Chains A and B, each alone.
Chain A
Amino acid sequence: MEEATLSFKARAERALADPTLKIAIDRTTGTAERKRAVAMSQFPQFEAARERGKRIKDHVIANLDHYLLEFERNAIASGAKVYWAATAEEASQIVVRLCKEAGAKRVTRVKSMLGEEIGLPHALDEAGIERVETDLAEHIVQLGGDRPSHIVWPSMHRTREQVSEMFKRLHRAPHQEETIEAMVDSARRELRDKFLSADVAISGANFLLADTGATCTVTNEGNAELTTTPPRVHIVTAGIEKLVPSMGHAIAMLRLLVRSATGADVTQYTTFHCGPKQAGDRDGPEEFHIVLVDNGRSRMLREGMKEMLRCIRCGACMNHCVVFRQLGGHVYGGTYPGPMGAVLTPVFDGLEKSRDLPHACTMNGKCQEVCPVAIPLPTLLRGWRDRSWREGLEPAVVRFGLGIHTFVASHPRLYRLGTAIAVRVMRLFSRGGLVRGMPGLGAWTAYREFPAPAKRTFMEMVKDQENTR
């Protein structure tokens, strides 16, 4: 894809020059922000719930080996088959192999960011297996041939007007009326028979319940039930950090997740799956497979990023991020955008390829403030900057400049002299209260005025006053 070859800054400038994208971003994130604010105003125990959620996740992460084995044991006892994947490739290969073993021609998929992370859509397409995305937004992404731009609203980057045009062009029996209901009906007509004729269903999981071996998936469209019920085989892919000890813990996390993501008290559909169809069950899959994916998670645990494993993928950080709200998700270049994506993408893609992400942040702290599990996102982003510095990935001019600055700032008299000279040089370029056309200030003055300094520095004037006293 052309986009992947462009630099972060080039992608950013392209996004900034797209007024329709900005409308689409503002509609989705603006609504999400407002709804979350209302939900929070009606959730006075939020701080206590957040602290509890944080402690649940921290406890599980500190005892990950215990809960993973407990989950595996109980899942197997329920009749599920459990697979362990160390990498994204391994995970998608396992899923493709299971699909082939099931003789699958058509698979239906419930939206799962982990599926995107392990490259599953691409792997299924490569294997010649027809992939049907059943989440409405993922269906839009699939029709458009692009990638999700938000972890909760994958087609955030398209306005409803653009979606209407696309449905009319690509659906078999498109809508006539320009209403959202008519467009949803158009998608329903397009997808309904595919739901019923699929051989394999693939879903993710919002939570893995260790004490029962069950998986939990939340949707607002009911597509998880409809996707996973008719096919003979159901495959779940989930990151190992999705574990919680029990149903009660999952519910505690759900209260945080849903309010933070959409502002609702609870999702329209909360689905639990536990093993394949049992004797006496009226429906359910004959085979139930669970693929547990590491893909860098245990490395994050070892390398000082364990707080990030608390993430429950609500998207609140990106909805409240000033940078994301200008750029949208595609500019980030990875599976996950926004602040949480800027922390995660260097784990998956390597820091060298994604060095810009932790740097393109004002460190304003809003993401941490709204995070339902209080992840210190700015601290983790700074951790990547620190590492980037230590690994020599920062530009030589920045390294040199900060070296000089530190030397001068450690020698007060030199610093006083340097500041006094700098002010006088700036004054040479100043007129009408603004610095104009001064070399080195172009990045600032391309977009805004640079206020002129006073004639002398504060420290010079203070010293004079003290001397004359």
Chain B
Amino acid sequence: MNAPPSVSRSDSRPVSPRVALFATCLVDAMRPSVGFAALKLLRDAGCRVEVPQAQTCCGQPAFNSGDTAHAATLARHFIETFEGYDYVVAPSGSCIGMTKVHYAEALADDPAWAERARRLGERSFELMSFLVDVMGYAPADVKLDTSFTYHDSCSGLRELGVHDQPRALLGQVAGLTLKPLEGNDVCCGFGGTFCVKYAAISNAVVGEKAEAIERSGAQLLLGGDLGCLMNMAGKLKRKGSNVRAFHAAEVLAGMGGGPAIGEEG
């Protein structure tokens, strides 16, 4: 086991906390730029950031498939990998919702591990909420002349209360204006494995979401979860829409001029 953390959640904002970045499996495999954006933002906010090489998957696919035993195995691996840091931060509300809220359920038969999960949960944060709520960070000198609309991914919104933080951060980007999204808190139909297990239903849901995004009149679609963003960007692309999708962290890190999700990199 790693050394115990040097600060606890109840302390005031630590000076230069030691933060582990959990990139998440999707960012790792599909869109590394989100991981680099998160690294930059955390460092700009004054964190000492590390990317533990032992990190893999949070176990949510197993958990939501009912495979609680395998989810518990991956929960133990995650806890061992991350519990030695002051904080663990991920650019995803879905993955942190799993580790912070649901690990205790997955490990319910094992009180000692459930307690370790609970303690790590107290120090686990979705990126946007960590930057604002813990680090009091505001981006400086970021400029992007365009308009965006924002989709609130469900786990971040309902399990972690992520809503105002990304808007506060994006509000600091010069030239960037928000165009509200009708049904911003309505699920996009991704749902992890749901989107392939019940692909036709998922398609109907994301079809309505894509229409709402286009009605917003925004140039960019931003959000905080890559799974949802890939689903919505994939549907927008198929419709031939010109709306371009980015993870909010990319825009905040000044990478909003690069290729959007589904564009040639």
Chain A interfacial positions (CB closer than 8 Å to B): 9, 12-13, 16, 322-323, 326-327, 359-366, 368-369, 379, 382, 384-390, 394, 398-399, 402-403, 405-406, 408-410, 412, 415-416, 419, 422-423, 432-434, 443-444, 446-459, 461-463
Check B64–A363 contact: CB distance below 8 A: yes
Check A385–B65 contact: CB distance below 8 A: yes
Instruction: Please report the number of residue pairs spanning A and B whose Cβ atoms sit closer than 8 angstroms.
Output: 199
Check B65–A409 contact: CB distance below 8 A: no
Check A458–B56 contact: CB distance below 8 A: no
Check A398–B154 contact: CB distance below 8 A: no
The CA of A16 and the CA of B205, in the complex, are separated in Å by 11
Q: Does B55 sit within 8 A of A, measured CB to CB? A: yes
Interface string of B189-209 (1 = CB under 8 A from A): 111101111111111111000
Known: A322-B187, A434-B237, A454-B31. 8 other contacts (CB 8 A): A364-B187, A384-B66, A406-B67, A433-B262, A447-B235, A452-B262, A454-B33, A463-B53
Given A322-B187, A451-B262, A365 and B158 contact (CB-CB distance below 8 Å): yes
CB-nearest residue of chain B relative to A444?
A: B196
Segment at the A interface, from B5-13, B20-28, B168-176, B213-221: B20-28
Check B234–A410 contact: CB distance below 8 A: no
Classify chain B: how many residues form its interface, as a range. Answer: 35 or more
- Chain A residues near B28 (CB-CB < 8 A): 419, 457-459
Chief secondary structure at chain A's binding surface: helix
A-B contact pairs, 14 of them (CB 8 A): A322-B187, A323-B205, A363-B154, A363-B192, A365-B155, A406-B73, A410-B74, A434-B237, A444-B199, A457-B28, A458-B23, A459-B23, A459-B28, A462-B35
Most buried by B among A362, A382, A408, A458: A458
Given A366-B186, A409-B56, A415-B56, A451 and B77 contact (CB-CB distance below 8 Å): no
CB-nearest residue of chain B relative to A320?
A: B186
- Chain B residues near A444 (CB-CB < 8 A): 195-196, 199, 234
Check B30–A451 contact: CB distance below 8 A: yes
- Chain B residues near A365 (CB-CB < 8 A): 154-155, 158-159
Q: Does B231 sit within 8 A of A, measured CB to CB? A: yes
Check A447–B238 contact: CB distance below 8 A: yes
- Chain B residues near A394 (CB-CB < 8 A): 65-67
Chief secondary structure at chain B's binding surface: helix
The CA of A432 and the CA of B259, in the complex, are separated in Å by 11
Check A362–B189 contact: CB distance below 8 A: yes
The CA of A388 and the CA of B64, in the complex, are separated in Å by 12
- Chain A residues near B201 (CB-CB < 8 A): 12, 16, 323, 326-327, 360
CB-nearest residue of chain B relative to A441?
A: B196
The CA of A325 and the CA of B9, in the complex, are separated in Å by 41
Q: Does B141 sit within 8 A of A, measured CB to CB? A: no
Check B231–A448 contact: CB distance below 8 A: yes
Task: Give me the 9 closest cross-chain CB pairs, A-B, nearest first.
Answer: A362-B191, A385-B66, A389-B66, A448-B234, A364-B187, A447-B203, A458-B32, A364-B154, A451-B262
Given A9-B198, A364-B187, A433-B263, A416 and B64 contact (CB-CB distance below 8 Å): no
Q: Does B230 sit within 8 A of A, measured CB to CB? A: yes
Give the contacting residue for B259; candidates A12, A368, A387, A433; CB below 8 A.
A433
Check B191–A443 contact: CB distance below 8 A: no
In the complex, chain B residues 49-89 whose Cβ is within 8 Å of any chain A Cβ: 51, 53-57, 59, 61-68, 70, 73-74, 77
- Chain A residues near B235 (CB-CB < 8 A): 447-449
Check A458–B74 contact: CB distance below 8 A: no
CB-nearest residue of chain B relative to A321?
A: B187
Check A446–B189 contact: CB distance below 8 A: no
Check A410–B29 contact: CB distance below 8 A: no
Check B154–A366 contact: CB distance below 8 A: yes
- Chain B residues near A398 (CB-CB < 8 A): 65
Q: Does B265 sit within 8 A of A, measured CB to CB? A: yes
- Chain B residues near A399 (CB-CB < 8 A): 67
Check B202–A447 contact: CB distance below 8 A: yes
Q: Does B264 sit within 8 A of A, measured CB to CB? A: yes
- Chain A residues near B155 (CB-CB < 8 A): 365
Check A402–B55 contact: CB distance below 8 A: no
- Chain B residues near A433 (CB-CB < 8 A): 259, 262-265
CB-nearest residue of chain A relative to B232?
A: A448
Given A402-B65, A433-B265, A448-B235, A361 and B194 contact (CB-CB distance below 8 Å): yes
- Chain A residues near B74 (CB-CB < 8 A): 406, 409-410
Given A322-B186, A409-B56, A409-B57, A461 and B158 contact (CB-CB distance below 8 Å): no
Check A359–B263 contact: CB distance below 8 A: no
Given A9-B198, A385-B64, A457-B29, A322 and B205 contact (CB-CB distance below 8 Å): yes
The CA of A412 and the CA of B23, in the complex, are separated in Å by 14
Give the contacting residue for A458; candidates B35, B59, B259; CB below 8 A.
B35
- Chain B residues near A409 (CB-CB < 8 A): 56-57, 59, 74, 77
Give the contacting residue for A363; candidates B35, B73, B191; CB below 8 A.
B191
Check A359–B190 contact: CB distance below 8 A: no
Check B262–A362 contact: CB distance below 8 A: no
- Chain A residues near B190 (CB-CB < 8 A): 362
- Chain B residues near A361 (CB-CB < 8 A): 191, 194
Q: Closest CB of chain B to A412's CB: distance in Å?
A: 4
Interface string of B158-172 (1 = CB under 8 A from A): 110000000000000
